[in-house]
Structure 1
Amino acid sequence: MASYQDVIDRIDYLVAERPKAVIVAFLLVTLVMGAGLGSISTQSGTSQFTEGSDAMEAYDAVQDEFSPAFSSSGGSTQLIQRGQNVLAKPALVRMLKAEHRMKEREELRVDTTSSPADVIAVTLDPSADSLSEKIDAVEDATPSEIDAAVRENADNPAFTSSVSDDFNAPSASATAAVGVVTHELPGGTSSSVGSSGSSPLMDIQLEAQHVVDSVGGDITVFGAGILSQDFSNVIADSLLIVVPAAALLIVAFLVYSYRDPFDLLLGIVSLVMAVIWTFGFMGLAGIAFSQMLIAVPPLLLAVGIDFGIHAVNRYREERVDGHGVVESMETTTDQLLVAFFIVTGTTVLGFLSNLTSSLGPIKDFGLVAAIGITFTLLVFGIFLPAGKVFIDTFREERDIPAFGLRPIGGEGSLLGRVLPAGVVVAKKAPYVFLICIVLFTAGAGYYGTGVNTSFNQDDFLPPEDTPAYLDSLPEPFAPSEYTATAQTNFLTDHFSRVGGSSVTVYVTGPMRQDDSLEQIRHASASPPSSVAAANRTADASSIIGVIQSYADASPSFARLVERNDVNDNGVPDDNLEVIYDELMESPYSGQASQYLAEDYRSMKVDYTIEASASQDEAAAAAESLADRYHSNSIGTGQPVIFQALTSVILNSALRSLVTAILAALVFLVICFWGFERRPSLGLVNMVPILVTIAWLAGAMRFLNIPFNAMTATILSISIGLGVDYSSHIVHRFADEYDGDVVPAVETSIRGTGGALAGSMFTTVSGIGVLAIAITPILGQFGTVTALSIFFSFLAAVIVTPSVFVVWHDLQARFGTAPDAV
């Protein structure tokens, strides 16, 4: 095709005749892109995934309208107290002093404080309003008076929800308690499930820990700011550990692959340039760096190493045949620029298929990876060949010796003897072999359909106990001290109403209607088995509980409720607006506002979930409970939101997979028709890719690696990287094929397969090193990506030769009809 050949000829001219100009131009662009590195922002945590879902919108509405008192997000800080008995006098005094000292520090912007110690203090002295008065009340009380006050509040939800599950009323003891401090922040904060790196509470909560430490005892500050710090630190720590380790492994394999210090330096400079261009573009385009984008540098290295080794290896094939520098490079670029274009096009389509996802971070990942691969094509397709011409010309003019001229996989080498194994099989029994491969692949694919799908905040957090090999690392590689996972695990284990152990039904509509409160009672009867219950009634917190608490404390309000309770079940049915008004003017107004909106047009009901219930069971229970309400209602809460995301993740993975397969198939058929007039080779090209996907899905299930926020992209990535390997083999075969299939296959596998082997070993080690990343989700991604590359290589060099033989037989049987399009 003259049109594409004209472009290649122009590149040949620039690379061979004006290499200095090409090098200078690329270095200038690198300087421009490098300026964008300083503008890169970070985004971490799970909130970036939850935005936009119905459950998340309902959760935000609940947070905005009802301002729950026991929340680790938004503008609040938790004070987690541990001890042999946190309800003993010394522990209560320490908690109150911690609240008091925080209140006194203006920079902590404390608005309100609450804790079990506050409840006990007010019980001891109902007139105690200020924290100093509460401290005096507890200090002046005897231990027996304090124990009596604790027992008096044994049925008070405001007290029991903030002490650990081992609370023992007769002995007036508990081993943990949680106080809550709310803050007034400029412009407010948004409450969301999960946290991001931009939490304005971080500085406040870090300073608060120093203040709390001054009172003694074991009180730990926790909240969205601490989560944000750990989310941000784990990104930096993972990069600091993974990048040097990957660099060492990559350099070691590149030394073997290039076996020449000048070629090694040129290859490394090209890799660095591709990374700078990609991340500089991110900074200039305002795309935030998230946990998912940590995988982009290894992916760029994977494709860049492949391109670099292929370019140098193909060039060396010409050089050992006696051709000169310019002639060898022109032959190399004539062939490889087409292969690089095919590989880049299909790889970019594989990554861009992630744009079909409804999750923003996955879209960003697909876009940045696609742009990065495009930059990699330019760097390794133009800059590296120009640099190679310049260096080799410089060396020849000054009689500087060259090293490692023999191409990888050449005859006589160990790799050269191993690689043709697939060719041997293709010669003897291609049809039997392919039937076995089809059966095995179908079985692996069917087995892989059972892969689990999950989304959990813990995937993004560092483990509670970092592995010993990480703790032994010297500075600056030693990881930070992480606390968020330990605190979240402690809250989940010791406080049944914290974390994912409760769901919320958000009800909208006129709450003044006579049956508004009866809905709660009916919905709570005979709840799903995953909901905590007593006497076949769900353990629920709602406005009904506040009404009953105030009725117990106020005889006049009790009479009002009784007069309007038609069926005498304790739930008022008439004149609800009058009851609400009375309640909102009472000392219980604060509790009431946690469940009923100011305009009486919405309410929330919190249901406790059994500790043994799974995330999907909790989400199903929330949906079932919401369906029982006559008014508009929706279930929400962390289990509901995260369970919804697991469905989104699976659907995104499947949609991206189908999109990537179809797009790659069409693109390959068009390319092989346009470049080689053999469109059926596009179908041949897809065979090892489909084999790789099926093997990978089976391996993920076997290794118990789920589809999650990061591994959900692996199927489309497998297409992108798998095409890289198979396209090089198929395109080389198309160049070598002249009607005699076996010599063409042997030359393709021995020549191009050698470069593929060097690329595979290098990139598997470079990407596989993600397995030592601190966050579990990155380790899983590194493992499956390394497997994807390894399977792609195996399929390309073992399966493809037999496919070529079958393709040749079909061509012979049907003539040129299949390719006469």
Structure 2
Amino acid sequence: MVDLDYQAVIDRIDYLVGERPGTVILVFLLVTAGLAAGLGGISTSSGTSQFTSGSPAQQALDQVDEKFGTSFGTDTASTQLIQRDQNVLAKPALLRMLRTEKRVRERENLHVAATSSVADTIATTLDPSARTERERIDTVEDATPSEIDAAVKRAAGGGLAGSLSNDFNPEAASASATVGVVTHEIPGSDSSSAGTSGGSSPVTTVQQRVQSVVQRGGTSDVTVFGSGILSAEFGNVITDSLLIVVPAAAILILLFLVFSYRDPLDLLIGVVSLVMAIIWTFGFLGLADIPFSQMLVVVPALLLAVGIDFGIHAINRYREERSEGYGVVESMETTTDQLLVAFFIVTGTTVLGFLANLTSSLGPIRDLGLVSAIGITFTVLIFGIFLPAAKVYTDRWREEHDIPQFGMQPLGGEGSLIGRFLPYPVLVARKAPYVFLALVVIFTAVAAGYGTGVNTSFSQDDFLPPSQTPGWYHTLPEPFAPHEYHTTATLDYLDEHFTAASGSGGSVTMYIRGPLRKDYALESIHHASYDPPDSFVISNSSTLATSEPSRYANTRSIIDVIRSYAQRDASFRHLVRENDVNGNGIPDDDLGTIYDRLLDSPYHDQAREYLSRDERATRVSFTTKGNASQADVVADAHNVDNRYRLNAIATGQPVVFQYIADTILESAVKSLAVALLATALFLLLCFRVFSDYTTLGLVNLFPIVVTVALLAGAMRYLGIPLNALTATVLSISIGLGVDYSSHIVHRFGDEYEERDLYDAIDVAVRGTGGALTGSMLTTVAGIGVLVLAITPILGDFGSVTALSIFISYVLSVVVTPSAMAVWGHAVERYGSA
């Protein structure tokens, strides 16, 4: 044992807890009041943009947004008007869309810069002079159905299909859905991120107003959708999840507390301690200006679960001493002498498990690790000092007023259900520890190998509520009843009915830089889309020279703007032909003149969407198949960006999200390695300081290594991927799971100094096993209740973390005795280590 006077610190705490409990209670209450002031300063952050910010792929996308046109400027935003009908190309549906656009444009507070829809295209095809909404409405009203059908057929070759559902039939002039777009000029808005940020914003406010205008207009076949609507739902998900998860966790934990404490005053002390832990942590959150995100919804459940664990151990160990006939102060001194060391070990390993996530390059994961570590530190202070002081204070008060105590028998005592189970692992440790551990090692290796195949994912869907929430959600009374959610259903509809569902990752953008006036520039851009990979959509139009099916990708670029203007303007068409060397409709020579003419035309705004002001950057948008996986789309995008003669970078939402998914896997592996190494070193140091046996730290760690392997295998078997939140579980499971083995091993180390090997194992398992069982049940309940959260990512985290706690508990009780027996044999044979 290292000669460090840690006992002096414990003795000082013993004195304060035993002799000055009222002062301790007052100090903790004052600190609670001070930190409570920070609760009002908590801000929120949600959605996927908190992950994408700062990633290389997002930086490339930001450059695209910065350089190209008003559609991508930080002062613009677009709202989608999704119309569904038996036939959206029929006269009544066209008129409803046109009238909706007119009502939206007439509202000044909607900041409408432009509107566009299939209905606009049909109206201007019928009458090219129809410029205003009123004129277009009159044009469609005056047209016969046959004239409208003819206009649809004429407009079909000009890109009309891009705004219509997949069932568009130009011959029958029919389609079941269409998407119109309202462009807003909103000062201070920013729609550049591939992810979506939660909370209130100017875009959210405007789109909610559009939604109100459409609803009041009685246009039931039009759904309003956009980043602001999505952002609002992200924000609501946080509030709704907290309102469901926290009360449910509190109720479940209260039930377990009643079972574990079995005394009203002890129960009150435990509940007050839990509330204090929550106030301290979230007060710190507000004072430190760390925004509360969907990731941090798990923190209250973690704190409640860990706090209950500490509380049960403290009360149970105290009752062991009281049942032996010792007094209040003497029993608490014995309890704190032993448990403060165990709590220090447990807290150290738990904090290291959380802090290992600081190695992640993703900000929200780092925030989760930091806030959880701070919260656990606060929790151990409250349950290691305040709760014992409150227990001494109330028990003295009871004795003074002759008030009886209840539930004095510790959990796991002789004759209890738990007490009857606990001797079996000890029996295995006596009879066949080597054979048993060999089987455990083999099983661990198999599970670890299987677990390496666990999937990794990052998707906007992880943060959204399911398209159909369980019916019981809506039976909850106010204020617990959640909001109505429509975003996921809308995104699913777009995915199903449109080739490239807007906003759901149906396209990839190539950001191309180089001298765009060189004669090879446009030909290079065109050639890169030839014979596209499987995940890219092929253009549905024939080639220019023949009637054979196209072998080019479905793209949108500066080439399309040139072609569109050439179709409308004879002189420009002649200019293009003069400079088209190979006759494929793409100019090769004098590109500077062509760009100048294009930018001086009515197609100026469209050109600026694809051509930077210095004419050294452009973008090409590739449509991707709705059934293609994100990984396949990104792999194909990187293959295509190598085709360009100019410098091309693949970006867009799929690329950004795949980068995050890869980073998640890297973070999980890195944090796991750091957590294992840091925990091993910490345990070796602790047992070197607190006992004569340094290598007991490795015995402590062994069940946790097995837990991580089994957990990875279980995640793969259950189909739960490593996502933004579950990726943290592997390192967190080390921090939380080591709690169970730490209590057993530390108690064994104390008992082994006075007993023989197997008696020490038996006392350690029996003495801590009951409290471990109680804390396991409360921890599993407290964290497992996250499955009730509205978002899938929280449910997955709750399931996996609860599973890791259960596995840690079982292995600590079942495997640790045999590990201690093998360790004891080695020590007795080779001497102290």
TM-score, with length taken from structure 1: 0.97
1:108 and 1:564 map into 2 onto residues whose CA distance is 44
State the Cα distance separating 1:61 from its structure 2 match. Answer: 2.1
Give the counterpart letter for 1:266 in structure 2: I
Asked whether 1:501 is paired with 2:506, we answer yes
Asked whether 1:605 is paired with 2:620, we answer yes
State the Cα distance separating 1:334 from its structure 2 match. Answer: 0.7
Residues 382-410 of structure 1 show CA distances to partners (whole Å, capped at 9, x for unaligned) of 10000000000000111000011111001
Which of residues 114, 123, 142 in structure 1 aligns to 2:125?
Answer: 123
State the Cα distance separating 1:87 from its structure 2 match. Answer: 1.3
State which drifts further: 104-113 or 134-143: 134-143
State the Cα distance separating 1:755 from its structure 2 match. Answer: 0.5
Q: Corresponding residue for 1:218?
A: 221
1:112 and 1:51 map into 2 onto residues whose CA distance is 29
CA RMSD of aligned residues (A): 1.6
State the Cα distance separating 1:63 from its structure 2 match. Answer: 2.5
Q: Corresponding residue for 1:175?
A: 176
Q: Corresponding residue for 1:247?
A: 250
Q: Corresponding residue for 2:714?
A: 699
State the Cα distance separating 1:271 from its structure 2 match. Answer: 0.7
Given that 2:74 and 2:190 are in contact with CA atoms closer than 8 Å, whether structure 1 keeps it comes out as no
State the Cα distance separating 1:72 from its structure 2 match. Answer: 13
Given that 1:97 and 1:215 are in contact with CA atoms closer than 8 Å, whether structure 2 keeps it comes out as no
State the Cα distance separating 1:440 from its structure 2 match. Answer: 1.0
Which of residues 52, 60, 63 in structure 1 aligns to 2:62?
Answer: 60
State the Cα distance separating 1:66 from its structure 2 match. Answer: 2.7
Which of residues 713, 718, 726 in structure 1 aligns to 2:728?
Answer: 713
Following superposition of structure 1 onto structure 2, how do residues 536-547 of structure 1 map, counting pairs within 5 Å? Answer: 536-547=551-562
State the Cα distance separating 1:309 from its structure 2 match. Answer: 0.4
Q: Corresponding residue for 2:764?
A: 748
Given that 2:350 and 2:735 are in contact with CA atoms closer than 8 Å, whether structure 1 keeps it comes out as yes
Following superposition of structure 1 onto structure 2, how do residues 191-590 of structure 1 map, counting pairs within 5 Å? Answer: 191-198=192-199, 199-213=201-215, 214-498=217-501, 499-533=504-538, 535-590=550-605
State which drifts further: 728-737 or 206-215: 206-215
Residues 554-602 of structure 1 show CA distances to partners (whole Å, capped at 9, x for unaligned) of 2211111111112222211111110011111222223222222232111
Secondary structure at the aligned position of 1:537 is classed as: coil
Q: Corresponding residue for 2:544?
A: none
Secondary structure at the aligned position of 1:171 is classed as: coil
2:795 and 2:485 map into 1 onto residues whose CA distance is 18
Give the counterpart letter for 1:422 in structure 2: P
Given that 1:657 and 1:716 are in contact with CA atoms closer than 8 Å, whether structure 2 keeps it comes out as yes
State which drifts further: 698-707 or 50-59: 50-59
Distance 1:64 1:93, change over 3 A: farther
1:73 and 1:50 map into 2 onto residues whose CA distance is 20
Given that 1:346 and 1:723 are in contact with CA atoms closer than 8 Å, whether structure 2 keeps it comes out as yes
State the Cα distance separating 1:616 from its structure 2 match. Answer: 0.6
Secondary structure at the aligned position of 2:222 is classed as: strand
Residues 19-71 of structure 1 show CA distances to partners (whole Å, capped at 9, x for unaligned) of 11110111111111111111111111111111111211122222333358599
Give the counterpart letter for 2:213 in structure 1: V
State the Cα distance separating 1:164 from its structure 2 match. Answer: 1.3
2:475 and 2:73 map into 1 onto residues whose CA distance is 36
Q: Corresponding residue for 1:812?
A: 828
Asked whether 1:765 is paired with 2:767, we answer no
Given that 1:340 and 1:377 are in contact with CA atoms closer than 8 Å, whether structure 2 keeps it comes out as yes
Q: Corresponding residue for 2:542?
A: none
State which drifts further: 274-283 or 58-67: 58-67
2:569 and 2:197 map into 1 onto residues whose CA distance is 45
Give the counterpart letter for 1:193 in structure 2: A
Residues 241-267 of structure 1 show CA distances to partners (whole Å, capped at 9, x for unaligned) of 111111111111111111111101101
Residues 111-140 of structure 1 show CA distances to partners (whole Å, capped at 9, x for unaligned) of 211111111122222222222222222222
2:472 and 2:680 map into 1 onto residues whose CA distance is 45
1:773 and 1:808 map into 2 onto residues whose CA distance is 46
Q: How many residues align?
A: 816
1:695 and 1:594 map into 2 onto residues whose CA distance is 52
1:72 and 1:780 map into 2 onto residues whose CA distance is 35
Give the counterpart letter for 1:86 in structure 2: V
Asked whether 1:788 is paired with 2:804, we answer yes
2:54 and 2:390 map into 1 onto residues whose CA distance is 48
Asked whether 1:678 is paired with 2:678, we answer no
Q: Corresponding residue for 2:545?
A: none
State the Cα distance separating 1:6 from its structure 2 match. Answer: 1.1
Give the counterpart letter for 1:178 in structure 2: V
State the Cα distance separating 1:615 from its structure 2 match. Answer: 0.8
Q: Corresponding residue for 1:137?
A: 139
2:726 and 2:52 map into 1 onto residues whose CA distance is 17
State the Cα distance separating 1:305 from its structure 2 match. Answer: 0.8
1:586 and 1:119 map into 2 onto residues whose CA distance is 19
Secondary structure at the aligned position of 1:113 is classed as: strand
2:436 and 2:424 map into 1 onto residues whose CA distance is 12
Residues 220-257 of structure 1 show CA distances to partners (whole Å, capped at 9, x for unaligned) of 11111111111111111111111111111111111111
2:615 and 2:134 map into 1 onto residues whose CA distance is 36
State the Cα distance separating 1:665 from its structure 2 match. Answer: 0.6
Given that 1:73 and 1:192 are in contact with CA atoms closer than 8 Å, whether structure 2 keeps it comes out as no
State the Cα distance separating 1:8 from its structure 2 match. Answer: 0.7
Give the counterpart letter for 1:130 in structure 2: T
State the Cα distance separating 1:11 from its structure 2 match. Answer: 0.7
Residues 303-345 of structure 1 show CA distances to partners (whole Å, capped at 9, x for unaligned) of 1111100000010111011110001101111111111011111
State the Cα distance separating 1:282 from its structure 2 match. Answer: 0.3
2:299 and 2:76 map into 1 onto residues whose CA distance is 31
State which drifts further: 756-765 or 182-191: 182-191
State which drifts further: 583-592 or 367-376: 583-592
Q: Corresponding residue for 1:655?
A: 670
Distance 1:279 1:581, change over 3 A: same
2:279 and 2:450 map into 1 onto residues whose CA distance is 41
Secondary structure at the aligned position of 2:163 is classed as: coil
Given that 2:350 and 2:734 are in contact with CA atoms closer than 8 Å, whether structure 1 keeps it comes out as yes
Secondary structure at the aligned position of 1:569 is classed as: coil
Given that 2:116 and 2:181 are in contact with CA atoms closer than 8 Å, whether structure 1 keeps it comes out as yes
State the Cα distance separating 1:298 from its structure 2 match. Answer: 1.1
Given that 1:98 and 1:215 are in contact with CA atoms closer than 8 Å, whether structure 2 keeps it comes out as no
Q: Corresponding residue for 1:25?
A: 27
What fraction of aligned residue pairs are identical, expressed as a percent? 63
Distance 1:424 1:73, change over 3 A: farther
1:530 and 1:792 map into 2 onto residues whose CA distance is 43
Given that 1:91 and 1:217 are in contact with CA atoms closer than 8 Å, whether structure 2 keeps it comes out as no
State the Cα distance separating 1:420 from its structure 2 match. Answer: 2.1
Which of residues 662, 686, 703 in structure 2 aligns to 1:688?
Answer: 703
Which consecutive unaligned segments of at least 5 residues does structure 2 have?
539-548
State the Cα distance separating 1:686 from its structure 2 match. Answer: 0.7
Given that 1:72 and 1:222 are in contact with CA atoms closer than 8 Å, whether structure 2 keeps it comes out as no
Secondary structure at the aligned position of 2:156 is classed as: coil
Residues 73-107 of structure 1 show CA distances to partners (whole Å, capped at 9, x for unaligned) of 96111111111111112211211111111111111
Residues 414-441 of structure 1 show CA distances to partners (whole Å, capped at 9, x for unaligned) of 1111122211110111011101111111
2:63 and 2:149 map into 1 onto residues whose CA distance is 39
2:515 and 2:188 map into 1 onto residues whose CA distance is 30
Given that 2:781 and 2:802 are in contact with CA atoms closer than 8 Å, whether structure 1 keeps it comes out as yes
Give the counterpart letter for 1:586 in structure 2: S
Distance 1:120 1:598, change over 3 A: farther
Q: Corresponding residue for 1:80?
A: 82
